[in-house]
Amino acid sequence: MKQHTKHILQIIVIAFAVTMIFSCQDNYSEIQKLSYTKRFPVGEAENMFLVYTDSGKVKSTLRSPYNKDFSNQKFPFMEFPNGIILNFFDENNNKSVVTSDYAILYSDTRLVDLQGNVVLTTHDGNVLEAPQLYWDQDKEWIFTEREFKWSNEHGVLLQGTNGIDFNKNLTIIDAHEIYDSTIPIEEKDK
């Protein structure tokens, strides 16, 4: 009987020790939660539509199914966790379109970080695809340090791994490193 009581006592001690271990882990996770500063948006919007004008002329429009406004942070930003459709217009009102799965607009720097299946299509048939692009609104300059694929209606194709910089009309382009390019040449009858 002594042996049986000793065995039961050991089981109780082990159960108590296991309970204490899990209890400590729960307390530790609670302490971690307290030390983590959560970011709460000052506002949220569904089916958002923004229009940016300059001197009475529409320069760009932005659509997003969902937006979080973090203008209450030290470095304010707007987050678009479900992606955006950005239309921007040149001086002749020609429309170019950028789409992405996710975006952040940093208010102070006016820099837009586009992520996930980013596609830029210009009014004249240029198409740039990348996993991430940055758009500097003030300089009207687009860039990435990641891989990219650029093509146009004539079939010109550039692919690179270390980024590309260009203006919004894709008329000034600086590809950092190209690993593949195709340029079609028309054959003329002799």
d(CA 100, CA 186): 35
Q: How many independent structural domains does the chain possess? A: 2
Count CA atoms within 13 Å of residue 135 on its CB side.
Answer: 24
pLDDT computed for residue 178 by the predictor: 62
Would residue 82 count as lying in a domain? Answer: yes
Nearest 5°: the CA angle 110, 116, 122 is: 65
pLDDT at position 35: 46
**Closest listed residue to residue 72, CA positions, set 96, 44, 49:** 44
* Structural domain range at position 145: 43-182
pTM over the 0.75 mark: no
Residues whose CB falls within 8 Å of the CB of residue 149, separated by 6 or more in sequence, listed in order: 128, 129, 130, 157, 158, 159
Instruction: Express each pLDDT in 137-175 by its tens digit.
Output: 888 888 888 888 888 877 767 777 777 888 766 677 777
Percent of the chain with pLDDT over 70: 69
Helix (H, G, I), strand (E, B) or coil at 175: strand
Domain assignment present for residue 31? The answer is yes
Residue 190, domain member (yes or no): no
**Does residue 158 sit within a domain?**
yes
For 80-113, write each residue's pLDDT tens digit: 999 999 998 888 999 999 999 999 999 899 899 9
- Per-residue pLDDT at 65 exceeds 80: yes
Task: Say if residue 3 is in the same domain as residue 68.
Answer: no
Q: Does residue 120 surpass a pLDDT of 50? A: yes
Q: Is residue 51 part of a domain?
A: yes
Whole-Å CA distances, 107 to 1, 24, 113, 174, 182: 76, 42, 12, 27, 39
